[in-house]
């Protein structure tokens, strides 16, 4: 495994395992399978409803807690200082751990300044090793990081070969914030798994489209958290450190970038209204 050193010197595995949309009753089994494959970094969220499954699997494993890197995220219904503070304690209980390795604000809506203050408090109390954000566009990220005491260590955003976040990445690098990808396979959109260039490169190395896509992101200094319920896919996604893309291949894949979301634009008013409706 290779690691990225965050802005507070905490080391984060560059390849992890995500449990977004993993059914609650399947999460424990999926995480235990992933641990057996070799994953040590696990990404969950309050909104996923499966933090407890992640915690149960890690507790059941024979490995010590410090072998793992656990990420969770505060949902917008828990935004604001008091609600966020209480939700952090609840997440710790569900995860059955004394500390969270990385805690993120899930969405850039609601009182996320209050949420961030609660996260800073948890960080100072030793309950969190690193804090950051998710889905923050450069303008909101710059505004937030300018006014907080503990600078965001990570911004987890939609990142894949069709949305490479080149502009966002420039600003995150400027402010020493690690970019992390959600949706590294674009959730199959744009006929992702049949992308001709990725298939051609994969045939050269004896690798799948998914493995080429992950390797591209890893060589682009992006943290990735692919998900799968199938153990053979977990293994496939994990085996991306035994080959390296050439400069020419990297440039070719960079040309696939469409520089726009395949899901939803957080700066779009309709998207903001949809998230605000969750608070009504």
Question: In this predicted structure, what is the pLDDT of residue 276?
Answer: 82
Per-chain mean pLDDT for the chain: 96
Known active-site residue 175: no
Percentage of the chain modeled with pLDDT above 70: 100
- Give 233-241's long-range contacts (Cβ < 8 A, gap of 24+): 234/17, 234/33, 234/34, 234/37, 234/39, 235/37, 236/208, 236/210, 236/211, 237/15, 237/210, 237/211, 238/15, 238/37, 238/38, 238/39, 239/211, 240/15, 240/207, 240/211, 240/214, 240/215, 241/1, 241/2
The two three-digit tokens of residue 27, written as one number: 């999460």
Output the known binding site for substrate. 106
pTM of the complete model: 0.96
The two three-digit tokens of residue 240, written as one number: 């991306």
Is the pLDDT reported for residue 115 higher than 90?
A: yes
Is the pLDDT reported for residue 226 higher than 90?
A: yes
CATH for 3-277 is 3.20.20.100
Average pLDDT over residues 178-202: 97
When pLDDT is cut at 50, 70 and 90, the band that residue 280 belongs to is low
Question: In this predicted structure, what is the pLDDT of residue 151?
Answer: 98
Residue 120: name the closest of 155, 96, 92, 85 by CA: 85
Question: In this predicted structure, what is the pLDDT of residue 15?
Answer: 98
> pLDDT tens across 23-33, in order?
999 999 999 99
Question: In this predicted structure, what is the pLDDT of residue 271?
Answer: 87
Is the pLDDT reported for residue 163 higher than 80?
A: yes
Average pLDDT over residues 100-105: 98
Average pLDDT over residues 178-198: 97
Question: In this predicted structure, what is the pLDDT of residue 277?
Answer: 83
H/E element, 30:
helix 24-37
As separate numbers, helices (DSSP H) first and strands (DSSP E) second, the chain gives 11, 10
Residue 235, phi-psi category: left (phi > 0), alpha (psi -120 to 50), beta (remainder): alpha
Average pLDDT over residues 177-197: 97
When pLDDT is cut at 50, 70 and 90, the band that residue 275 belongs to is confident
Annotated catalytic residue, options 3, 20, 39, 48? 48
For the chain, which residues make up each domain, given as ranges?
3-277
């Amino acid at each position: 495994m290779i690691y990225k050193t965050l802005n507070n010197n905490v080391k984060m595995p560059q390849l992890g395992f995500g449990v977004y949309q993993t059914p609650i009753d399947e999460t424990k089994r999926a995480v235990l399978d992933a641990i057996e494959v070799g994953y040590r970094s696990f990404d969950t969220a309050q909104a996923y409803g499966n933090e407890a499954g992640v915690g149960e699997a890690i507790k059941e494993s024979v490995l010590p807690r410090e072998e793992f890197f656990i990420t969770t995220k505060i949902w917008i219904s828990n935004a604001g200082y008091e609600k966020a503070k209480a939700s952090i304690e609840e997440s710790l209980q569900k995860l059955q751990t004394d500390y969270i390795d990385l805690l993120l604000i899930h969405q850039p809506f609601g009182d996320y300044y209050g949420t961030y203050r609660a996260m800073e408090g948890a960080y100072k109390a030793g309950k969190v090793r690193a804090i950051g954000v998710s889905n923050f566009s450069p303008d909101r990220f710059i505004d937030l990081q300018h006014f907080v005491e503990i600078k965001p260590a990570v911004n987890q955003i939609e990142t894949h070969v069709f949305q490479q976040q080149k502009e966002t990445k420039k600003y995150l690098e400027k402010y020493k914030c690690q970019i992390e990808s959600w949706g590294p396979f674009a959730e199959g959109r744009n006929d992702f798994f049949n992308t001709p260039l990725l298939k051609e490169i994969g045939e050269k190395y004896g690798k799948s489209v998914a493995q080429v896509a992950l390797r591209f992101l890893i060589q682009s200094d992006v943290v990735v958290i692919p998900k799968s319920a199938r153990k053979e896919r977990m293994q496939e996604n994990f085996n991306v450190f035994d080959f390296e893309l050439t400069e020419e291949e990297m440039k070719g894949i960079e040309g696939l970038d469409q520089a726009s979301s395949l899901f939803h634009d957080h700066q779009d008013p309709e998207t903001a209204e949809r998230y605000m409706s969750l608070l009504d």
